[in-house]
A and B are shown apart, each in its own frame.
Chain A
Amino acid sequence: MKLIFGVIFQRLALSLVTIFLVSIVIFSSVTLLPGDFAKSILGQSATPETVAAFQRELGLDRPPVERYLEWIGRVAQGDLGDSFASGAGYQRSVAEVIGPRLGNTLFLAAITAVIAVPLALALGVAAALYRNSWFDRTVNATSLSTISFPEFFVAYILMLIFAVNLRLLPSLANVGPETPLDERLVKTLLPAMTLALVIIAHMLRMTRASIIALLASPYVEMARLKGVSRRRVILKHVLPNAWAPIVNIIAFNLAYLIVGVVVVEAVFVYPGVGQLMVDSVQTRDIPVVQGCALIFAATYIFLNLAADVIAIATNPRILHPR
Chain B
Amino acid sequence: MIDLKSIGLGWMRKEAASGRMSRREFIQIAGAAGVTVAAADFMFAKAAKAAPNKGGHFIQALTGGGTKDVLDPAQTLDSYMINVSFGQLRNNLTEIAPDGSLIGELATEWEGLDGGKRWVFAIRTGVTFHNGKSLTPEDVVASFNHHRGPDSKSAASGLVKQIVDVRADGGNVVFELEAGNADWPFIVSDYHLVICPANADGTMDWQSGTGTGSYKLESFEPGVNTRVIRNENYWKEGRAHFDSAENLFIPDAGARANALITGSLHAYSNLDLKTVGLMGRDPNIQIFPITGNKHAVLPMHVDTAPFDNLDVRLALKYAINREELVSKILRGQGEVGNDSPIGPANAYRATPEELPQRPYDPDKAKFHLKKAGMDSLKVQLSLADTAFEGAIDAGSLYAESAKPAGIEIEVVREAEDSYWDNVWLKKPWCGGYWGGRPTEDWMFSQVYQAGADWNETKWANPRFNELLIQARSELDEKKRRDMYVEMQIICSEDGGALIPIFMAYTHAASTKIALPDQIANNWELDGHKNVERWSMA
Contacts and interface: CB of A to CB of B under 8 A. Distances in A.
B169 to A, nearest CB: 28
Interface stretch (A171-179, A214-222, A298-306, A309-317): A171-179
Contacts of A41: 68, 75, 77
Contacts of B223: 271, 275-276, 279
Nearest to B65: A279
Interface in B130-175: 151-155, 157-158
Contacts of A144: none
B417 A174 contact: no
> Which A-B residue pairs are the 5 nearest by beta carbons?
A45-B155, A172-B264, A85-B68, A171-B262, A271-B224
B265 interface: yes
B255 interface: yes
Contacts of B152: 50, 53
A285 interface: yes
B456 to A, nearest CB: 10
B67 A174 contact: no
B252 A83 contact: no
Given A35-B417, A43-B420, A54-B153, A285 B67 contact: yes
A176 B221 contact: yes
Given A85-B67, A90-B207, A172 B78 contact: no
Interface stretch (A9-17, A233-241, A261-269): A261-269
B68 A84 contact: yes
B531 to A, nearest CB: 18
A107 B152 CA distance: 42
B70 A87 contact: yes
B442 to A, nearest CB: 14
Nearest to B425: A44
29 contacts: A35-B418, A39-B421, A45-B158, A47-B157, A50-B152, A53-B153, A83-B67, A85-B67, A85-B222, A87-B72, A87-B153, A90-B207, A92-B222, A156-B254, A159-B258, A164-B261, A170-B262, A171-B261, A172-B258, A172-B262, A172-B265, A176-B224, A268-B255, A269-B248, A269-B255, A276-B67, A279-B66, A280-B67, A282-B417
A268 B251 CA distance: 11
A163 B67 contact: no
Contact of B207 (A39, A89, A178): A89
A178 B75 contact: no
Interface string B305-325: 000000000000000000000
Size class of the B contact interface (CB-based, 8 Å): 35 or more
Given A44-B420, A45-B155, A282-B66, A176 B225 contact: yes
B528 to A, nearest CB: 17
A213 B478 CA distance: 92
A164 B67 contact: no
Contacts, number: 122
B262 A167 contact: yes
Nearest to A50: B153
Q: Which of A156, A159, A167 has the most CB of B within 10 A?
A: A159
Interface in A75-124: 83-85, 87, 89-90, 92, 97, 100
A171 B258 contact: yes
A176 B207 CA distance: 21
A90 to B, nearest CB: 5
Contact of A283 (B66, B153, B158, B263): B66
Given A54-B153, A269-B259, A282-B417, A170 B264 contact: yes
Nearest to A276: B67
Nearest to A57: B153
Q: Which of A39, A54, A171, A283 has the most CB of B within 10 A?
A: A171
A34 interface: yes
B453 interface: yes
A35 B421 contact: yes
A223 interface: no
Interface string A143-183: 00000000000001001000110010011101011100000
A269 B223 CA distance: 11
Given A42-B155, A45-B158, A266-B252, 9 more contacts: A43-B78, A50-B152, A83-B67, A83-B68, A171-B259, A172-B258, A174-B248, A280-B68, A285-B67
A53 B77 contact: no
Contacts of B326: none
A157 to B, nearest CB: 12
A288 interface: yes
Contacts of A54: 153
A188 to B, nearest CB: 14
B77 A50 contact: no
Nearest to B248: A174
B42 interface: no
B225 A174 contact: yes
Nearest to A56: B151
A50 B153 CA distance: 5
A163 B262 contact: yes
A265 to B, nearest CB: 10
A164 B262 contact: yes
B259 to A, nearest CB: 5
A171 B259 CA distance: 6
B361 interface: no
A73 to B, nearest CB: 25
B70 A85 contact: yes
Given A164-B261, A174-B248, A279-B223, A44 B255 contact: no
B273 to A, nearest CB: 20
Nearest to B67: A279
A54 B154 CA distance: 10
A288 B67 contact: yes
B389 to A, nearest CB: 16
Contacts of B75: 41, 87
Interface string B23-49: 000000000000000000000000000
Q: Which of B78, B259, B261 has the most CB of A within 10 A?
A: B259
A97 B154 CA distance: 23
